[in-house]
Amino acid sequence: MKFSANLGFLWNDRPLPDAIRAAATAGFDAVECHWPYDTPAADVTAALTETGLPMLGLNTRRGNVEAGENGLSALPGREADARAAIDEAIAYATATNTRNVHVMAGNAAGDAAHATFLENLHYACTAAAPHGITILIEPLNHCDAPGYFLTTTTQAVAIIETVRAVNLKLMFDCYHVQLMEGDLTHRLQTLLPHIGHIQFASAPDRGPPGSGEQNFVYLFETISRLGWQGPLGAEYKPQGPTEASLHWLETHRGGRE
């Protein structure tokens, strides 16, 4: 089993290039991040080249965070802002050879929001395709992200099937799915053709594996048995120094290629 360090939570007390180096030292196979835009892409690329780690994904900007925005792409009337954020994310991903861009929907509801999200996803998929970039959408739970437009895998798959772009996939975050829907094993089995990336954290505390209600030995074995080849994204909150939270890594990682 391979693992990716999500640097939005792990080693987020240091500059992004240094966090990449820390992930490599700890034995991760890849990295991913949230919003890297304050760090020059050249600095990130240099750290990735130095460590040999791929960058798996990054997010579009949330918008005006102080005003409570958590993404722009499902907000009617904000199409220009949403597409500027998409363009920025694709440009940064291209410069750093990042494979996936998570297009954040934002806090919205209703038919107009649904139509706006579809239009912006069409735009994102078309813009990303020439660069070989996959667009991801991720359901978020309503405890951590109240009011977020996209909340269930059922809703996400319906959107993916409507857009019908080969480079639009589901970000299956085991933490969010556990809180909103549960039944992780059957959902992974059923949704595997739609999944572009898998993330995890313990529920309900969003801590490292072993601190919550899921059986991660069984969960990781299930994912492996399904034939998943990519690194799994460790997107948990360490609740202290990141190094002190890595007890699970060697246990679950097994041999490295």
Count of domains observed in the chain: 1
Residue 198 sits in a domain whose CATH number is 3.20.20.150
Output the pTM of the full model: 0.96
Tens-digit pLDDT profile for residues 150-191 = 999 999 999 999 999 999 999 999 999 999 999 999 999 999
What pLDDT score does 254 carry? 63
- Asked whether the predicted pLDDT for residue 256 surpasses 60, the reply is no
How high is the mean pLDDT of the chain? 96
CA 117 – CA 108 distance, rounded (Å): 10
CA max distance for the chain: 50
Angle of helix 16-26 relative to helix 41-51, nearest 10 degrees, comes to: 20
Tens-digit pLDDT profile for residues 183-199 = 999 999 999 999 999 99
How many beta carbons lie within 10 A of that of residue 257, not counting itself? 4
What pLDDT score does 37 carry? 98
Dihedral angle at the C-alpha atoms of 148, 149, 152, 155, nearest 10 degrees? 180
Q: What percent of the chain has pLDDT over 70?
A: 98
Closest CA to 222 of 164, 169, 183, 165: 183
> How are beta strands 168-173 and 134-137 bridged, if at all?
parallel
Domain coverage including residue 23? 3-253
Tens-digit pLDDT profile for residues 58-106 = 999 999 999 999 999 999 999 999 999 999 999 999 999 999 999 999 9
CA 175 – CA 172 distance, rounded (Å): 9
- Catalytic site residues? 138, 235
